[in-house]
Each structure stands twice: as structure tokens, then as C-alpha cells.
Structure 1
Amino acid sequence: MPRMMSVRLWQIGKRHERGVSLRAALEQIWALGDPDARERQLAPGVRCRLERLTVDGGTIIGEMTRVRHEDHPREVHPDGARPLNVQVPIGDGVAFRYRIRDHRLAFQYDDRILSAGRFLDYIEVLVDGALFDSHPVLDEEEMERFRSQPLKKVTIKVANPTEVASTEDSMRAAASSFRQLGEAYNAPTVTLEMSVGTSRSFLAESAKRMLLGIIRETPEEDLRAARAVPGDARGGRAKEVNLLDSLFSHKELVDTPRDLDENFEARQRLLRRVLERQA
């Protein structure tokens, strides 16, 4: 059955020059043996394992499974809903594809299952010295479109606001606001919104740089929303844009068969196409 699938690209780097490579770390995890031996708890309710791994020339191809021992979905019958009749854990998978030569990772994005950040956390838990940094690879065409438009309003929502980084001058005021609000009010999530209201004017260009900087530097699982309302030629408002979709994600309708192997291959074909566009 066709379903909409989203892919995000990440640039992966070792945190320490002599650290373990991503390929070596994944191969070390795979060598643990049965899938059960590769399963780890990362956080309350977040348990996962490396399900598939192959190396094809200069590409690492794999899948992660999010394991669910409880909180199962329900069976839906004509006469009503019933508990799912299974006696074993259930799970959902996300596929990934890593190009070794330029350290580029294509990761199936589904925040209900597992993020790329959690994937790297999983590797770090299992392999000593496997510490990685990741930065999103943003769509260049969408980036140019975003840069060319004046902005009437921006909204950004982050979790763990006390950890927001400020690596550029344009980010400093916003990052400081996130940190101060998080610390002062013990707020686990903070939303920052800036607008020119009904004025015909636009936000400063530095607002765009701030927004892009926070998108790049904030961990995927902490970046909850990033939206912008562009202005039109008359100073009015255009339609609001979800930047996490337009800049981050490639979306495509994919036929996903019930057979697990065929399903995995279908998702890998999309990952391959997205990576090849970034060659």
C-alpha cells in the first residue's frame, strides 16, 4: 500500500579525530550476534536494535527497529476494538543509508519511531569511543527561495531550551532568550515568536540567519517546530511555511508491501535516490 515517506539527510562527523568510524561502530554492533543481543534501552519507552546491516561498496545499508513491549495498538473489528492479540514485543523499522566517502547519512524520518539523533545515541551506548556530531543537510533550492523572501513572522519551538547553542552572532539574542526562559521558569519547552504585526515592514535579515542557525545546531529530537510567514511584494502576508518540511525533508509516496524484505527494499530505493541527488 502506498504511503508518504519522508527522508532527511545528515552530515556525520567524528567528535574526536581518533574516534571510531561510523562503519566500524556499526560492524562492531552487528558482530554481537542475534538481534536480541543488539537491543538497548535508550530512554523510558525508547528501546531499539540494529535489525539489518550490509556494506555494498562504499555504502552502508541498514535498518533500525523500535521495540515495543507495551503500549500496543489495538485490533479494530466490525463490532469494536480489542487488545492486540500478541504474546511477543512488536516493532516498527526505519531504514538508513550511509555514503562512506563524504559521510552523508540518509535516514527515514518518522518521529513516532526513531530519529537520526537517537540512532547515533544507540551507537554511542554500544561502542566505546563512537562519538559523532550530526548536522542537517538542507535543500539548496528551498534555502535560496527562503533567503530571497522577506519575513513577516517566525516561530521556533525547542525542547531542552537551556542547551540551545549560539555559534553565530545572529543566534546570540534568541539562544540567550531560550536559555534564560528555560532556567528561570524550569520550562522543558519554549516557543519563540517574532512578528511585525499588521505593519507593512519586514523582520531584519538577521532573523533568517538566526532561524537557519538554530535549525542547523539544535538536535533533531529537540527541534519541535520552525515556521515562517513570508511577505509579498505589497508588504502583505503569504502562506505560512513549515521549514522543517521544506528545508529538511524530501517526501515521496512509496509503495510499501507487507513482505518485510520487499518493504525494506522499497524504502531503500527512495533513500538511494535522495542520496544520489546530493552526489
Structure 2
Amino acid sequence: MSLKNVAVIGAGTIGLSWTALFANAGLNVTVSDPRPDLADVVRDSMPELAASLGSTAEKLLAQVTVSASLADAVANADLVQENGPERLEFKQQLFADIAAAAPSRALLASSSSGIVATLIAEKLDDDAAGRMLIAHPFNPPQLMPLVEIVPGERTLESVTLAAIDFYRELGKVPVREHQEIQGFVANRLQAVVLKEAFNLVIQGVVSVEELDTAMKTSLGARWATIGPFESYHLGGGPGGIRHMFEHLGGNLTGGDSGVTEADVEKLIADVERTYGAGPEAYAKLTAERDRKQLAVNAAVSD
């Protein structure tokens, strides 16, 4: 990998998971956190994290250094992965301190789960803001593939592309988001599902266990192999998502009066461009879906 030295700032759950992942990739990792028991926390967390990666604590810890000094931790970093509290003012000051001490080449990435890069970088000069973006993992980072790459208004395109390459080389699946929005994509989708899950349990429709079972054996299992758009596309048979809209119409967009026919046509065209259209594409997609679904079912069965 072109980036060899990584500084992990913040040794909470996310920071420690990143530490294990980076170390497992053979990177030189320096972890910094003001907590007095930092060395103990890092050491004690590695056996479980290493086991999840098929490694050993000894191998991971050989790649890791701890530092109580933020400046020392980032002094030779090619990339800084920040995992501090979700408070804007705190992150603004933290990145100001990071930018002051890190090399001018360093990529500055935040694991923030909701605060956009433009706000975090608001008080940084153009050079530092140009190297700062969001690289939000899905928890736990050492296992879940997704990393949401969300550049700010001043983030350089070259930095965004370098970050995408870096996380892809780590074995992650970076998804670039083209507009900043609070909460980003995955958490916003999760929030909608959780809101309805809470409602269903509170209303007594199902118990917590029953709802989780329903999710794991339906949408959860399905979405492990295909996303919502591909699912609807296949749900329309050889006619695809176009057929679904012709028959279900506004039900698919929630009856939102703000969605125009032009919006729907653009969406349909995007789905057909992404996945293909017609009987041949349908046959290929269903065969691939079924192969993956059988593998998922087998993997999660008791």
C-alpha cells in the first residue's frame, strides 16, 4: 500500500477496531487517546479483535504503538483516522491540532457518523481542509465492508480518490457520496428501519425477538445479497422495475407528491443502466442472486 503509517486518534470501540484492521494489513499504527490506561486498553482489546480477523493479538500488537501525545502520534502519519466524540466544536479543535502537527501530505479522515466534513473543516486553512474528508465505517469496522467516503466542499478530488484507493486496498468497500447530508446514507437508512421497528414492538404487534427474527429471515438476508433497487428490479420479473412502477405507481415512492414522472423515469433509467433490462438480464441477475442467497442461508443457519 502507498500509505504505510496510520495514526488512530481515539481509542473507543471504533478506534480500536480500526487499529486492528490497519495492523492486520501490515500498516504501522500509532494510537493516541488522553485516557491514562491507553496501553492497557489497546492490549486487552486485541485478542478478541484479532480472532475476528483470523490473526493473533501478538501479530497485531507488533504493528501498534501507543502515544499519549497527539502531536507525536500524527508526526509521521500518511493518514489520520479520527474517532473522537460526536461534537462539532470538539472535532473542529481536534482537527486543528491534528493539522498543526501532521505532515502536509497526510490524509485527514474522520469516522464521524453524522457530522459533515465541511463543518468539521470550517476553521482549517485551505491546505488542511483540502486533505480532510469523512471515512465513516459501519460497525464493527474490522468486519463490515462499507466505508462511506464523503468529501467536504474544500476537499481536493485527488484526496477523495486517494482515500477510496486506500480503503479499497484494505479490503473495504468504499462508497462515495456526492452530497453532504447529516447522518450520511447507511445510518439514515438504518434510522428509518429502527423507527418502524420500535413502533411495531411498542404497539405489541411483535416482540423484540420476533421482530429481529423476521428481519434476519427476510430483508436482512435479502439485503446481504442485493440492495433495495436491485430487489425491486427483480421483483418486476423480466419487465423489471419499469413493470413494478407501471403496476404499483405511487406506492413505490410512498405517495410523495413531490416526486415527478421525470424523477421516476430518471430513477428507472438509472436502475436499468446499472443492472440491465429484459429477459436475458433478468435470468442472469436471478441466478446470481439465488447463488448468493443460498450461501447466506447456509452460513447463518444453526
| Fold match (TM-score > 0.5) | no
TM-score (norm 2): 0.24
TM-score, structure 1 as length reference:
0.25
Higher strand share: 1
Report the structure, 1 or 2, having the larger helix content: 2
